[in-house]
Chain A
């Protein structure tokens, strides 16, 4: 049976529930990816909090909370066909218990590790590479910090603790434009919410000036004769550049 779900974590867990209690899953697809003509072979699963929780409880009890977290990270990754990979990981975990995390040679475990690692790497990288602009709220005129990002993995909530600790006294928004989601934070509290449209804000008067200063400093720090774009891009992949004032055309 192919399952289609609503692209939420609970939705996936509900599919997992059906895998064990209704019919074995052959494929699990988020609704936005599923092609319509295949629909007749697939069942659209209605997300059910109670069913999802049963699966999650089982994962926590029979494998470990550590593995539950890992599975969630895989869910947030951009791993292709991650749903079936997660399901296989859970199934394997039910068989072996918490020692599954030591089974580095198993392809199921390997795939999960790789996805988890990619998520971790993006989180770490973003802590340095998110660039805020000072913006003015078009309605109230208050300032806030606003950053536009295009994330590979869905990691807004993983970078939230770092940034909300860093900017305790100022409201800020990190906008993942590729997913239409925003991280809204103020005073140490934060929340991830859908954010499809552009916010009604505009850059403050000083914003452009500070970008120029930063770019000037950045250029001065580079050693021209030793230009090494390969290393630079290795650390700072080109797809991030659009939102970095020091390398984009401002």
Chain B
């Protein structure tokens, strides 16, 4: 044990504290919203004093950055303590924590130390030592620095379970404004490589997925009109969004925890993260971007991270503006619609209404906008139609279909099947009867839902005082003084 290890661990742990993309079980999110609650099935090893579950050692390899991203407290021009782990030191620390059953695995990310390749080399050295020398079989999530060379990425992918490259911004304009050293190509190249390697791996192993492959040549596609440009076609899985919803996230251990680690490249897939609210993009642009990311890169998840103002710069929201936590929450709901409900970004947000309504669930908003399509008869609707009804989810839709095969669904049955009736009843008929009363106009319904959602939020605030809000986070950062923590992902 080195003598400085304690300080490094606390400084570099703090730096990684607010990172949201600890996707192994969605537990490390600052804003404990509704999303991800089902995913918290992994093994929690301890609970912090504020009641959050810890299961991975989440830490930066270094916070000594040569880049100068405006929104980050580790940027070159900021002052503050700089620390860097020796690869060997961190590998030992991880295995010793793992042996003592303190943690389930490692979430390693880093600032750009000297250069992307230099950083990646040290990361790889650390992970390699962990797997090869210490025989570590736990979970590893490695965050990749943009601009890393393909060879190093391949090596890291072979020792990590999950990889992520942050997309950072919804458009290339914002990226060049706020993170000038990060080039879109440097972000998309590793994403593309990860996707492609995984597809090759799958084609080699699995039968019957040939038709899902697309030519991986140069396509030069503008990412969903968002202004971010993919230089190279990623060869995404066709219809990854709209066809079969796939289960993602969840249990760390079940995520193909490898016994023989060197046979697979990032078996738990890749994720990415986007900063919300630091740049002026609309929600529509953000959703288009994330839709494109799911399509082209077969992302497991796109994480949103509400920007918490910690840096005073003319390009950024003022230090007084609250972090857009509610917006982040609604974006996650919209993301859910993309992934599991067969919605497209264009359906959720239109050109005339490019932003989500932060007061209401995007699915309710969609239904109110298309009120003429309702009510839907539950006894004849297709699965896709059922899924459009607010209050009906994947599970309840399947239950309805199953029962229909045997006998008609009665109104009383719906509740038992898990349908949220206080919402759904306005949008469906059962056996031809409508149970929603007289409030069939969109405007009136809107009022009904607003009241309901406010009441629910108040109740949730009472139930869950542990949910963070903006003020807490700023206070946690040490008031208006020199912030010590990188909020937006100190690293990449």
Query: Judging by beta carbons under 8 Å apart, are B48 and A218 in contact?
Result: yes
A147 on the B face (CB < 8 A): yes
Query: Judging by beta carbons under 8 Å apart, are B53 and A235 in contact?
Result: yes
Query: Judging by beta carbons under 8 Å apart, are A226 and B53 in contact?
Result: no
Query: Judging by beta carbons under 8 Å apart, are B472 and A214 in contact?
Result: no
Q: How far is the CA of A203 from the CA of B274 in the complex (A)?
A: 46
B1 on the A face (CB < 8 A): yes
Residue of A nearest to B18 (CB): A223
B96 on the A face (CB < 8 A): yes
Query: Judging by beta carbons under 8 Å apart, are A236 and B93 in contact?
Result: no
B145 to chain A, nearest CB (A): 23
Residue of B nearest to A214 (CB): B102
Binds A, one of B39-47, B240-248, B353-361: B39-47
A145, A147, A210, A244 — which one has the most chain B CB atoms within 10 A of its CB?
A: A210
User: B205-219 interface mask toward A, CB cutoff 8 Å, 1 = contact, 0 = none?
Assistant: 000000000000000
A38 on the B face (CB < 8 A): no
Chain A residues numbered 99-121 whose CB sits less than 8 Å from any CB in chain B: none
Binds A, one of B3-11, B64-72, B196-204, B343-351: B3-11
Which of A128, A170, A231 makes the CB contact (< 8 A) with B51?
A: A231
Binds B, one of A23-31, A58-66, A78-86, A129-137: A129-137
User: B465-482 interface mask toward A, CB cutoff 8 Å, 1 = contact, 0 = none?
Assistant: 110100011011000000
Q: A216-B6, A232-B51 are in contact. Are A226 and B100 (CB under 8 A)?
A: no
Which of B6, B49, B100 makes the CB contact (< 8 A) with A227?
A: B49
Give the residues in chain B near A163, CB-CB below 8 Å: 101
Q: How far is the CA of A223 from the CA of B465 in the complex (A)?
A: 13
Give the residues in chain B near A230, CB-CB below 8 Å: 51
Query: Judging by beta carbons under 8 Å apart, are A225 and B13 in contact?
Result: no
A87 to chain B, nearest CB (A): 34
Query: Judging by beta carbons under 8 Å apart, are B100 and A128 in contact?
Result: no
Please, how many residues of chain A have a CB less than 8 angstroms from a CB on the other chain?
45
B330 on the A face (CB < 8 A): no
B363 on the A face (CB < 8 A): no
Query: Judging by beta carbons under 8 Å apart, are A130 and B53 in contact?
Result: no
Query: Judging by beta carbons under 8 Å apart, are A134 and B100 in contact?
Result: yes
A36 on the B face (CB < 8 A): no
Give the residues in chain B near A128, CB-CB below 8 Å: 43-46, 55, 101, 104
Chain B residues numbered 438-492 whose CB sits less than 8 Å from any CB in chain A: 465-466, 468, 472-473, 475-476
Give the residues in chain A near B13, CB-CB below 8 Å: 217, 220-221
B121 on the A face (CB < 8 A): no
A178 to chain B, nearest CB (A): 19
B417 to chain A, nearest CB (A): 17
Give the residues in chain A near B1, CB-CB below 8 Å: 206, 209-210, 213
A147, A170, A219, A228 — which one has the most chain B CB atoms within 10 A of its CB?
A: A228
Give the residues in chain A near B93, CB-CB below 8 Å: 213
Residue of A nearest to B16 (CB): A221
B118 on the A face (CB < 8 A): no
Give the residues in chain A near B53, CB-CB below 8 Å: 235
Residue of A nearest to B45 (CB): A128
B17 on the A face (CB < 8 A): yes
Which of B17, B43, B476 makes the CB contact (< 8 A) with A225?
A: B476
Query: Judging by beta carbons under 8 Å apart, are B468 and A226 in contact?
Result: yes
Query: Judging by beta carbons under 8 Å apart, are A223 and B468 in contact?
Result: yes
Q: A131-B100, A206-B96, A221-B54 are in contact. Are A232 and B49 (CB under 8 A)?
A: yes
Query: Judging by beta carbons under 8 Å apart, are B48 and A223 in contact?
Result: yes
Query: Judging by beta carbons under 8 Å apart, are B97 and A220 in contact?
Result: no
Residue of A nearest to B100 (CB): A132
B281 on the A face (CB < 8 A): no
Q: A213-B9, A232-B48, A236-B47 are in contact. Are A224 and B101 (CB under 8 A)?
A: no
Residue of B nearest to A227 (CB): B49
Give the B-binding residues of A (Cβ under 8 A).
124, 127-134, 145, 147, 163, 166-167, 169-170, 206, 209-210, 212-214, 216-232, 234-236, 244, 246-247
13 A-B pairs besides A224-B50, A225-B472, A228-B465 with CB distance below 8 A are A128-B104, A129-B46, A130-B101, A131-B102, A147-B101, A214-B97, A217-B10, A217-B13, A219-B49, A226-B468, A228-B51, A235-B44, A244-B46
Listed A/B pairs (24) with beta-carbon separation below 8 Å: A128-B44, A128-B101, A128-B104, A129-B46, A131-B102, A132-B100, A134-B96, A210-B1, A214-B102, A217-B10, A217-B13, A218-B46, A223-B49, A224-B49, A225-B472, A225-B476, A226-B472, A227-B49, A230-B51, A232-B47, A232-B48, A232-B49, A235-B44, A235-B51
Give the A-binding residues of B (Cβ under 8 A).
1, 5-6, 9-10, 13-14, 17, 43-55, 57-58, 93, 96-97, 99-102, 104, 135, 137, 465-466, 468, 472-473, 475-476
The 7 closest A-B pairs by CB, nearest first: A231-B51, A222-B49, A226-B50, A222-B48, A228-B51, A128-B45, A220-B10
